[in-house]
Structure 1
């Protein structure tokens, strides 16, 4: 057994039975493991408890608010935030155990971890966002908080930070089917944020958005070096950039579609 450190591993979940055990078990040094579940109908809760986690139920608030709620439930002020489909490598476990005690005694606000992507069952090798993507995932809850957005949240802090070298892994979407379902959900959440901000639709930009997004990912971010997997991830990203704009335009033109879409997502189990 690895010696524990006074920190809380936090994972927010809904129907993550196939992934949650690997995530929780990859952080053997956490003094506390907390799962904040928003209504799983599979065995997520039972599996999380069997793997040492305390489970708290919270109706879904959006990614940012849900993470901020989770921080209030932790027994320790230092928090490691992972998603259920993420897990630490042995190299990162060793590095964290060696460096975290000194970090936690200082006045740093957060630590940056490097995330590597597993896509279509294999690690990406060249695509820039998938190889060593820097993400603030370890933080002191009194010195940092998550942005209050429904999706694509980020950790906000003003103080000092440190960066760790070894990666953690993101086993992204078992198939393109799951990816497309996530695109539907994330687009809906993003569009609702836009509605609150009264953003203009600017549909004239849409044809250029696809082209520029694809070129950025496939060429500038080196997706082409990962072969057809690089093409697939770049094309999917460009489609997402276009679809959320079309969906937002529809929300403005036909406000009734907001409710019917929400009902459709709920029936399909995609309301998170």
Structure 2
């Protein structure tokens, strides 16, 4: 049972070495670089990766290109800011060798700087479980710019939680706010492309609902001010995207 590890990145020379080193136990390493201009290509080659370079307007398209380039029976798809701990590989191999299912979710440990934040993630701004281990042919990304939807073939299997993938999601609060700006701009472009930006009242309701869900239902309150900050960002994401599409369509129309 061959396992491919897939990384899709753009100008991630600073974080790519540690990511690729953590994927060394895979049978095949595939790296997709989208319009990268830094040393990412050289770094990928130095780790023995099969390299696919190009330019894709949509996140879903470049991720599907990476999946198509993999030849393993199973694929582990991670981002450049993620690290697979050594103690997780035994569980990954066990599941790939025995699972009758199409995909599995893995535990994600999210860090802001060096602080591990366990609670409160959600609302398209972060997650503690991701469906990133899957059979080749089971996963297809939709044609969207940010957080594209997924279409699956096959059923979902057990969650793999023996250890968490280290996700260095943000460096600090300013980095988190810059991410919110990027994500909401990309989402505004998706809304305009779809021809439906929604209404202001609906997006205000979504904002408040997401804040409450992240801070209360997902126990963000247990993280103190960090949980409140994450809840605010998760809630503002759809509202900012709507306002950008509504007020500045010429800046965000793809």
TM above 0.5: yes
1:23 maps to 2:15: no
The alignment partner of 2:79 has SS state of coil
Structure-1 separation of matches of 2:237 and 2:194: 20
Equivalent of residue 175 in structure 1, options 172, 176, 194: 172
Equivalent of residue 65 in structure 1, options 37, 42, 61: 61
The alignment partner of 1:245 has SS state of helix
The alignment partner of 2:171 has SS state of coil
- 1:126 deviation in Å? 3.1
Deviations 1:50-91 (A, max 9, x none): 222222102023111111111121232421100101111233
- 1:172 deviation in Å? 0.5
2:137·2:153 contact (CA, 8 Å) conserved in 1? no
With over 3 angstroms needed to count, the CA separation of the structure-2 counterparts of 1:200 and 1:172, relative to structure 1, is closer
Q: What does residue 138 of structure 2 align with? A: 143
Q: What does residue 152 of structure 1 align with? A: 147
User: What TM-score, normalized by structure 2, do the two folds share?
Assistant: 0.87
Structure-1 separation of matches of 2:31 and 2:72: 14
Structure-1 separation of matches of 2:137 and 2:90: 26
- 1:16 deviation in Å? 0.8
- 1:34 deviation in Å? 0.9
2:109·2:165 contact (CA, 8 Å) conserved in 1? yes
Q: What does residue 41 of structure 1 align with? A: 37
Structure-2 separation of matches of 1:143 and 1:58: 24
2:4·2:75 contact (CA, 8 Å) conserved in 1? yes
Structure-2 separation of matches of 1:14 and 1:175: 20
1:13 maps to 2:9: yes
The alignment partner of 2:38 has SS state of coil
The alignment partner of 1:150 has SS state of coil
The alignment partner of 1:93 has SS state of helix
- 1:128 deviation in Å? 5.4
1:201·1:248 contact (CA, 8 Å) conserved in 2? no
- 1:228 deviation in Å? 1.5
Equivalent of residue 201 in structure 2, options 192, 199, 204: 204
1:78·1:138 contact (CA, 8 Å) conserved in 2? yes
Q: What does residue 54 of structure 1 align with? A: 50
Equivalent of residue 118 in structure 2, options 122, 125, 132: 125
Structure-2 separation of matches of 1:66 and 1:116: 25
- 1:7 deviation in Å? 1.9
CA RMSD of aligned residues (A): 2.4
Q: What does residue 109 of structure 2 align with? A: 116
Structure-1 separation of matches of 2:85 and 2:145: 29
Select between 204-213 and 151-160 the one with higher mean Cα deviation. Answer: 204-213
Matched pairs, number: 250
Structure-2 separation of matches of 1:112 and 1:180: 27
The alignment partner of 1:162 has SS state of coil
1:115·1:135 contact (CA, 8 Å) conserved in 2? yes
With over 3 angstroms needed to count, the CA separation of the structure-2 counterparts of 1:224 and 1:120, relative to structure 1, is farther
Whichever of the two has the greater Rg, that structure is: 1
